Structure 1
Amino acid sequence: MSFTNTILTGKKGLVIGIANDQSIAAGCARQFHAAGAELAVTYLSDKARRFVEPVAEAVDAALLLPLDVEIDGQTEAVFAAVAQKWGKLDFLLHSIAYAPKEDLHGRVVDSSREGFSMAMDVSVHSFIRMARLAEPLMKEGGSLLTVSYYGAEKVVDNYNLMGPVKAALESVTRYMAAELGPQGIRVNAISPGPLQTRAASGIGHFDALIDEARARAPIRRLVTIEEVGAMATYLVSDLSRSVMGNIAYIDGGYHVMS
Structure 2
Amino acid sequence: MTQTPLPRRRLYLMRHGSVDYFLDDGTPVPPDTVPLNATGRAQADAAGALFAASAVTFDRVLVSGLPRTVETAQRALAAARSTTTIETDPALQEIRPGRLSDLPRDQVRDAFLGAFEGGATREAVEQHRFLGGESVGELLDRCLPAWTRFLARDDWDCALLVLHGGVNRALLSSALAGTRAFFGRIEQAPACINVLDIGADHAVVRAMNLSPSQWLHHRERQTTMEKLLAQYLRT
TM category, shorter = 0.3 to 0.5
Higher normalized contact order (CA 8 Å, seq sep 6+, divided by chain length): 2
TM-score of the aligned structures, taking structure 1 as reference length: 0.38
TM-score of the aligned structures, taking structure 2 as reference length: 0.41
Between Structure 1 and Structure 2, the one with more helix by share is: 1
